[in-house]
A and B are shown apart, each in its own frame.
Chain A
Amino acid sequence: MSGISEMLTFLALPFIASVVFVLIHAYLGVHVLRRKIVFADLALAQLSALGASVAFANGYDVTSPAGFAYAFVFTAIGAALLTLTRNLARSVSQEAVVGILYVVATAATILVVDRSPLGAEHVKKILVGNIVTVDVAVIAKFAALYAVIGLLHWWVRRPLLSLSSERGPEGRSRLEVWSWDFVFYLSFGIVVTSSVATAGVLLVFSLLIVPAVIGFTFSDKLSFVLLIAWSAGIAASAAGLACSYAFDLPTGATMVTALAGFLVLASLSKVFIVVDAERRRARLQRAAQTAVVAAFVCILVSSMWLIINPSGDQPLLALLERATGLGSATFLSSSEGDTYESAARDIVRFQDEVDRLDAMEKSARYQGPPLADDEIRRIASYQQTFNEMTRGEQFVRNVLQTKARTRERWIIGLPAAIIAIAGLGLSTRWFSRRRRGEGDDHSTYDSAEV
């Protein structure tokens, strides 16, 4: 299969869309982080969803001008509320107000949708969103809209940025503060409302926050922050889209994970790479020490868990078994082992039978002589039987596995626990002696820096 070209034709549009999204969202994210209102996008998006549902309940199509007007008016109301609550922020965090706004808007949407059930589809769409299915017209529309908003923000960058800064509204009249805040929230609301419907709440939230956080990790200068945020956002989107295609994963969730991965990489490189050699060595050493201790703790905990409850889930042991190929069968007598393996084969065989019957029934739906109801019933009862037999074999496997684990408990669990305890004791002693011997200068100036 022409894998790469297929992938490119499929992912080109979503990638362009995510670039467009990253450019505006990472920039707005800078404001949002500085204003400490990271959930405002959710509140505004939910308010516009409420507007759309109200429009729907009143008999307008969600995509009609009236539907859009409703959504816009509700977003504007949200923007006004956020503007007016800036002063409240002295006694209560504004984030609390944002949270309340979000929850109330969501609840109201549920109530409105309950009155006009067919509107539920629209609300569902806002929550899910799928960037894969975006088309050229939509991207062009977004690009134009974001360009207008971007230009507006460039034009009035001075008041907008200073109002988002730590210093706040000093030296400005209340009216002036209110109008700039309103401009900010309204444009912000319009952006997230449009993007959420295409990309979904999760992805929009991540695009807003994560690149900006990455930017602030490395710099405080706005132009650098933006440059870093944009590159990181675009790179993470590309990585997320490619992974989603390659590993057959839902796109939005994969992109969110990719963004988070870039954040982790950025923090790691901040700690280990963007420092002088001396400090890097000390930090790497300390990281290695922590990893060794953590590994011993993991081994200790899971060996204790194996000893206490051998029939429970043993995630680390299962991982080890899969990695070494030494399954539970190793700890069974040869006849038990045979039963264990043959049960596995039978499960596959029975499920193949179920699938074969399924395929037979499915093809008889539209070709050849149709199956009579009684034949369908017979197939169903065969499948039922095979499924029950599968469950039986599964049960046999579980019993034998528990048996094996009960033996492993002393053969593996006890030695592992002893090794882990010894390892923990030795390594912590060795590390602390080393640290004392190697000089205190690193640790003091490290902890002061971190």
Chain B
Amino acid sequence: MRAGLRSLVIAAALLAAASASAALRVVATTTDLAALTTAVGGDLVIVESIVPAGIDAEAFESRPGDLDKLRQADLVVRIGLGYDFWLDALVVRVGNKRIMRGGDAYVDASAGIPLLEIRGQGVVNEGGHAHGVGNPHYWLDPEYAIIITASIAEALVRRAPEHRDRIVANRERFLAELRTRLQKWSEALAPYAGATFIAYHNSWPYFARRFRLNVVGYIEPKEGVAPSPAHLARLISLARTSQVKAILHEPYEPEETSRFMAQKLGVPMLKLAISVGSMPDARDYLALFDYNVATVANALRARNP
């Protein structure tokens, strides 16, 4: 199926290349950045992501096809902060200076982002999990899309100055829609400001900050290590004292512990989309927040109507 999709993409690319002067080939490391690039680039770009939807980008293993994608790329967009650290090795293999750090076809989307949970450690912690610089899950604050799309738009204009107006117009249109929805999302969650949660992985600080939620603890004490019973016991008493309303669970993590905690506490376990495509309803960047906000709001409404 993927091969079919790829040949379709290639066919589309050839067609576009023939008709328009040149569609820009953009390779984004994650589906979220791919979705945002599509929003800004519209039909000026052909976007591919390296990490497939629903895969943990922090534990991703690249494959030869990724080199092909990068070889043909006119622009590379990455999360940075060590989250997609494997990109560096791939780009070195490709050897194209323009898509390396500092090149004019390279976008580190974390540039200019107000980061949370700054840590002084190296880029990659033990276990290959990258929260060493700061928390890398910043795309889960929808308002940051303004900054991210600015970086992407700037790079696209740099590569195709003749399309500047269209790129700017695309971005404005997307941001207008984003602002309307952001209004709705904020209203949906406003009654529950300060609601407390426990999350499996520390993916939600940006989401929590934007919608004024309080994630009090994490099931996964260290990335990739099974939680100890003492940790769970502490977490349960913490959850009871802070009246946790739900367990937030990332779809690609093992469910047992989250379900166990939810059962012990008598609260729902909510599977939230951590990236575009990681839940069936999270088809694009805006739909991701539609889904997450609705899931959280419904659960909270059910608990105190």
B-binding residues in A (CB < 8 A): 6-7, 10-11, 14, 115, 117-118, 120-121, 124-125, 128-130, 132-133, 135, 200, 241, 244-254, 354, 358, 361-362, 365-367, 370, 373-374, 376-377, 379-380, 383-384, 386-388, 390-391
Contact = CB atoms under 8 A, between A and B. Distances in A.
Contact of A252 (B115, B226, B232, B263): B226
Given A133-B256, A135-B263, A250-B228, A365 B213 contact: yes
B228 A370 contact: no
B212 A365 contact: yes
B229 interface: yes
A383 B119 CA distance: 8
Contacts of B256: 125, 130, 133
A380 B120 contact: no
Nearest to A122: B254
Nearest to B63: A114
A128 B219 CA distance: 14
B143 to A, nearest CB: 8
Given A128-B254, A135-B260, A380-B114, A244 B228 contact: yes
Interface in B130-146: 134
Ranked nearest first, the 8 interchain pairs of A and B with the lowest CB-CB distance are A387-B120, A133-B260, A376-B114, A383-B118, A248-B230, A125-B254, A366-B214, A365-B209
B193 interface: yes
B187 interface: no
Contact of B114 (A14, A115, A251, A377): A377
Interface stretch (B48-56, B154-162, B165-173, B175-183): B48-56
Contacts, number: 122
A117 B52 contact: yes
22 contacts: A6-B233, A10-B233, A14-B229, A117-B53, A121-B251, A121-B254, A124-B252, A129-B226, A132-B229, A132-B232, A133-B256, A200-B226, A241-B229, A248-B231, A254-B228, A354-B120, A365-B213, A367-B214, A373-B114, A376-B116, A380-B116, A390-B120
Given A117-B53, A132-B232, A366-B212, A251 B251 contact: no
A383 B115 CA distance: 11
Contact of B255 (A125, A248, A354, A365): A125
A120 B120 contact: no
Contacts of B252: 118, 120-121, 124
A121 B255 contact: yes
Query: What does DSSP make chain B's interface, helix, strand, loop or mixed?
Result: loop
Interface in B171-204: 193-195
Nearest to A367: B194
B117 interface: yes
Contacts of A388: 120
A120 to B, nearest CB: 6
Contacts of B151: none
A358 B209 CA distance: 13
B257 A130 contact: yes
B251 A248 contact: no
Contact of A380 (B1, B115, B227): B115
Contacts of B71: none
B251 A118 contact: yes
A124 B254 CA distance: 7
Nearest to B250: A121
Given A11-B229, A125-B254, A135-B263, 5 more contacts: A10-B232, A132-B229, A365-B212, A366-B208, A380-B134
A276 B70 CA distance: 73
Contacts of B114: 373-374, 376-377, 380
Given A117-B54, A370-B212, A388-B120, A130 B253 contact: no
Contacts of B229: 10-11, 14, 132, 241, 244-245, 251
B41 interface: no
B64 to A, nearest CB: 13
B82 interface: no
Interface in B212-268: 212-214, 225-233, 251-257, 259-260, 263
B279 to A, nearest CB: 10
